[in-house]
Structure 1
Amino acid sequence: MTTQTTPKYHVVLSRPFDLEQFAKNAQQDKCPRHTMWTLAQKLGATVHQPGQHPISPADRFLSKLMGGSLPEHWAMARAMSKQVGKNDIIFSIGEDSGFPIATVCGAKVNRPKMAVFVHNADRPRSRVAMKLFNLANRVDVFMTNTQVKADFLQNYLGLASERVYLVTEQTDTQFFTPGLASADKKRPIVGSGGLEQRDYCTLAEATQDLDLDVKICAVSPNAKAIADTFPPVLPKNMSRGFYDWPDLRQLYRDSDIVVISLKPHNYQAGFTTLFEAMSCGRPVIMTRTPGLAEELAEAGIITGVNAQDPQGMRQAIVDLLNNPEKAKAQAQRGYELVQGKYNSEQYVDGIANQLMSLEPEQELILAY
């Protein structure tokens, strides 16, 4: 006869985070839902996070050797290795925690199944680590969010296509919704946000003499990153600061246009801001980058501009401001796209289905 072994699921975070409190805040409309909480609830998974286990000298050495990981990640991996076996399925939200877990737990005779979301593996130390720690044979599914990264993983590690899962981007369409602009709004607003690969110098040059306000949600303790991202002196009509979740949503609602100005790069920065803005029903201007941004621009869902082209960005902004029906139609196309394809539900379901496909096969037991 056959017996069904119930798999045990584990969701591993890259940094300490109170998912339960975040979920309570989401229920009160203070923030979007966290996809890792939703995933854990869907699978009945145990959530693990670094910082709860003693660190050994070996943990410190291995974190330096691998690069991108912390000693806390290795300490967590050692602790988990004592708890998991062949009936366990582990999902790590980042390679910083996932690669140590795959290294340590993958060495077990009856090792668990493992999936790792890879954000940036095409770095010298990461390349070496993946080969040195034999991760191609210890991670069952590599997940990532761009075709460029997926192709790199498949080619560099010699993986079959079914072992690399391309995760679609997402936003919480229940939190980021269209709404009324603030009553005290005095003139047009160009909104923006984020720091990764951002080029606010071009945005400043494009808008500094226009009759509008530029408001940016971007704060970082890293002064070098700020200096590299913003002009030395902000134009009088530009401001940046911290926005909590409801205020960020209101910034989108207040914005006549959301502009995502990016440095030249070959992966897809800026998509969190893009999908939040489209979910709020706002038209978006975005620097063209290879992949989805280029596809959306060609489809007329966003307005694409070339990198480091302030004149082209200025023309795009003025064009949408002077043609509100065009801006409204573009915003509607973006809103429908996010609602249908880039929502949190499809994101969680996609990852969950991949993890459930790793469930151990039923065991055959002979009864006498």
Structure 2
Amino acid sequence: MASGGGAGAVVFYPADRDLSAWCERHAAGSAPDRWPYGLDRLDAHLPRVTAKNFPPASPVTRVARRLAAVVPPMRRAGRPAGVTWDENAGSLLSTTNGLSARYSGVVWLTDSVARRGAAPFRTMRRAMRRMDGLWVLSDAQVAPLADFLGPGAPPVHYVRFGVDHDFFRPAPYPERPLVVSVGGDRDRDPETMLRAMATVRRARPDVDIVVQSKTTLAPPAGVTVIPYLTHVELRGLYARASVVVLATRPNLHVSGMTVGLEAMATGRPLVITRTPGMDDYFGGTSAAHLVDVGDADALGRETLALLEDPESAAAEGGLARAHVEAGFTTAHLAARIAGVIAGR
């Protein structure tokens, strides 16, 4: 496979991800990193890194992409490499011309194939096979993705995720106890989370609990559920939290790692479900407490233990921040992706 990046790189985002608005929010201090996922930090490793949105879909662009998909991808020497964050944007990149090479992350595809079989994803398989390199955020995804793509596919690299530790900065440990849970992706487990929070409230009715989720389940008494938070609101909630708690269903893409790392960057201990790949992110620090999938009792028990010993929880928060700084920032992430692009 060809390696790219010598002539720079163009990072492509979907048309509905308003890149200009994101940059403006970042400049105003209300969004992490200059570009989503910190891919602006590729410029520390590759020359001439730019970003742009894919054009909005239209009948003309749809026909052009269908035609491009039936011919081998063209690679133009001396042109920049194309980069996308996930397979959905990567499918558009696969038929984008004028590039020396194409690289994409893959986030959800391995779980989708595991649950529904390979047949519904033949088109995505063809698109990913047109890439020059792929990366995943969990080592548990490497073999399943390689098997799905088959012989002759581009190499699949494991790249650890990272967060903007400048935006999610340390905050003093709070005096008032607050438990926080954040996230509503398809692999969160709100039922287990709410059962665990009911246990916490029965034992500690003085503790406030805030769960950000789009669940339609009725929350237990004393638990506040909110559907959405801006980045600034999220940062403020982490700063007020005593402990951040996450429950997920079985999955391969490490659902919850973003929130877990953001909370730890803020200096908060974490209680989180152990799924494949989770130990690579949180197994190396005593500031993260991992419990089995679906175990609401363990989730509640670990949370209560931290609430009962705020001095130790605050100390764990310091370890949590150090853990992120040591290897889980967007600067680390960009360096790892740059290595994929450079063929290292």
Tell me if both proteins adopt one fold, taking TM over 0.5 as the criterion.
yes
123, 132, 143: which one pairs with 1:151? 143
Aligned position for 2:52: 48
Partner deviation per Cα, 1:143-162 (whole Å, 9 max, x = no partner): 11111222223333356899
Counterpart of 1:204, as a letter, is L
| Partners of 1:175 and 1:283 in 2: CA distance | 18
**Whole-Å Cα distance in 1 between the matches of residues 119 and 153 of structure 2?**
24
- Alignment match, 1:193: 182
- Give 2:100's aligned residue: 112
Query: 2:230 — aligned with what?
Result: 244
Count how many residue pairs are aligned between Structure 1 and Structure 2.
Answer: 321
Q: Name the SS of the counterpart of 2:59 in structure 1.
A: coil
Contact 1:256–1:282 under 8 Å retained in 2: yes
| Shift, 1:28, TM fit | 3.0
Say whether the 8 Å CA contact 2:13–2:89 is kept in structure 1: yes
In 1: Cα distance, 2:48 partner to 2:67 partner: 20
Read off the aligned partner of 2:51 and give its amino acid letter.
V
Q: Which moved more, 1:275-284 or 1:293-302?
A: 293-302
Structure-1 separation of matches of 2:28 and 2:320: 27
- Give 3-state SS (helix, strand or coil) of 2:233's partner: helix
Which shows bigger deviation, 253-262 or 115-124? 115-124
Using the alignment, how far apart are the partners of 2:124 and 2:225 within structure 1?
A: 42
Q: Deviations over 1:349-368 (max 9, x none)?
A: 2222332349xxxxxxxxxx
Give the percent of matched residue pairs that are identical in Structure 1 and Structure 2: 20
1:36 matches 2:35: no
Counterparts of 1:82 and 1:152 in 2: how far apart (Å)?
24
Aligned in 2, Cα 1:165/1:6: closer, same or farther, shift over 3 Å? closer
Aligned position for 1:68: none
The code of the aligned residue for 2:39 comes to M
Superposition deviation, residue 90 in structure 1: 1.3
Amino acid aligned to 2:29:
D
Could you tell me how far apart the structure 2 residues matched to 1:287 and 1:76 are? 44
Which of 119, 128, 133 aligns to 2:122? It is 128
Q: Note if 1:216 corresponds to 2:211.
A: yes
CA distance in 2, matches of 1:76, 1:161: 21
Matched with 1:85 is: 76
Equivalent pair of 1:77/1:100 in contact (CA under 8 Å):
no
Deviation at 1:43, TM superposition (A): 3.9
Q: Is the 8 A contact 2:9 2:49 kept in 1?
A: yes
- Partner in structure 1 of residue 193 of structure 2: 203
Q: What is the aligned partner in structure 2 of residue 10 from structure 1?
A: 10
Match for residue 274 of structure 1 among 255, 260, 263:
260
Contact 1:102 1:139 in 2 (8 A): yes
TM-score (norm 2): 0.80
> Could you tell me how far 1:126 is from its partner in structure 2?
6.3
Residues 199-256 of structure 1, C-alpha deviations (whole Å, 9 max, x = no match)? 222222223323211112334xxxxxx23xxx33443333324222222111111101
1-structure distance, mates of 2:265, 2:67: 37
CA shift digits 1:66-98 (9 cap, x unpaired)? xxxxx9xx48979xx999723331112222232
- Structure 2 residue matching 1:328: 3-state secondary structure: helix
Distance in 2 between residues matched to 1:289 and 1:347, nearest whole Å: 21
Is the 8 Å Cα contact of residues 106 and 135 (structure 2) preserved in structure 1? yes
Counterparts of 1:134 and 1:204 in 2: how far apart (Å)?
39
In the alignment, is the contact (CA less than 8 A) between 2:173 and 2:242 conserved in 1?
Answer: no
Classify the secondary structure of the residue corresponding to 2:316.
helix
CA distance in 2, matches of 1:287, 1:139: 33
Do the aligned partners of 1:52 and 1:76 also contact (CA within 8 Å) in 2?
Answer: no
Instruction: Measure the CA separation in 1 of the matches of 2:48 and 2:143.
Output: 32
Q: How far apart in 2 are the matches of 1:135 and 1:294?
A: 25
**Does structure 1 conserve the Cα–Cα contact (< 8 Å) formed by 2:180 and 2:211?**
yes
Shift of the 328–8 alpha-carbon distance from structure 1 to 2, 3 Å rule, reads closer
CA separation of 1:311 and 1:97: change in aligned 2, threshold 3 A: closer
Gaps of 5+ in 2: none
Q: Secondary structure at the match of 2:54?
A: coil
1:325 alignment partner, one of 303, 307, 311: 311
Deviations 1:254-300 (A, max 9, x none): 10110011123343100110000000000110011122247734752
45-54 vs 188-197, which deviates more?
A: 45-54
